[in-house]
Amino acid sequence: MAKILVTGGLGFIGSHTVVELQNKGFEVVIIDNLSNSLISVLEGITAITGKKPEFENFDLKNKQGLKEFFERHNNIDGVIHFAASKAVGESVNEPLLYYENNINTLVYLLQEYKNRYIANFIFSSSCTVYGQADTLPITEEAPVKPALSPYGNTKQIGEEILKDVCHVNPQFNVVSLRYFNPIGAHESSQIGELPLGVPQNLVPFITQTAIGKRNELSVFGNDYPTHDGTCIRDYIHVVDLAKAHVIALERLLDKQNKKDFEIFNLGTGTGSSVLEVIKSFERVSGEKLNYKFAQRRAGDVVSVYADTKKANLELGWKSKLTLDDAMRSAWKWEQKLSKL
Ligand code: WQD
* Pocket-forming residues, ligand 1, beta carbon under 6 Å: 86, 88, 126, 128, 179, 181, 200-202, 205, 217-220, 231, 233, 274, 297, 300
Give, rounded to a whole angstrom, the gap between the first and last alpha carbons of the chain: 36
pLDDT in tens, 115-144: 777 789 999 999 999 999 999 999 999 999
* Torsion on CA atoms 297, 298, 303, 306, rounded to nearest 10: -110
Residue 36, domain member (yes or no): yes
The DSSP bridge partners found for residue 122 are 80, 175
How far, in Å, is the centroid of ligand 1 from the Cα of 294?
Answer: 15
Other Cβ atoms closer than 10 A to 19: 27
Residue 203, domain member (yes or no): no
Range of the domain at 52: 3-183+236-267
Q: What is the pLDDT of residue 89?
A: 86
Residue 283, domain member (yes or no): no
**Which residues are the active-site residues?**
151
CATH number of the domain enclosing 153:
3.40.50.720
How far, in Å, is the centroid of ligand 1 from the Cα of 26?
Answer: 32
Q: Which of 141, 176, 124, 131 is nearest to 304 (CA)?
A: 131
Closest atom of ligand 1 relative to the 155 alpha carbon: 24
Average pLDDT, the chain: 95
Residue 27, domain member (yes or no): yes
Residue 50, domain member (yes or no): yes
pTM of the model: 0.97
Residue 335, domain member (yes or no): no
| 57-71, 114-128, 275-289: least confidently modelled range | 114-128
Q: What is the pLDDT of residue 256?
A: 65
Q: Whose CA is nearest to atom 1 of ligand 1?
A: 202
Print burial letters for 312-337: b (CB count within 10 Å at least 16), e (below 16). Answer: eeebebebebbbebbbbbbbbbbeeb
Closest atom of ligand 1 relative to the 218 alpha carbon: 18
* Mean pLDDT calculated for residue range 66-76: 93
H helix intervals, 114-222:
150-168, 202-211
Q: Which of 228, 236, 238 is nearest to 306 (CA)?
A: 236
Share of the chain above pLDDT 70, in %: 99
* Mean pLDDT calculated for residue range 32-49: 97
* Mean pLDDT calculated for residue range 56-64: 96
Residue 163, domain member (yes or no): yes
The DSSP bridge partners found for residue 230 are none
How far, in Å, is the centroid of ligand 1 from the Cα of 77?
Answer: 34
Residue 70, domain member (yes or no): yes
Distance CA 136, CA 304 (A): 7
| Strands 54-56 vs 119-126: parallel, antiparallel or unpaired | unpaired
> What is the domain count for the chain?
1
pLDDT in tens, 196-252: 889 999 999 999 999 999 999 999 999 999 999 999 999 999 999 999 999 999 999
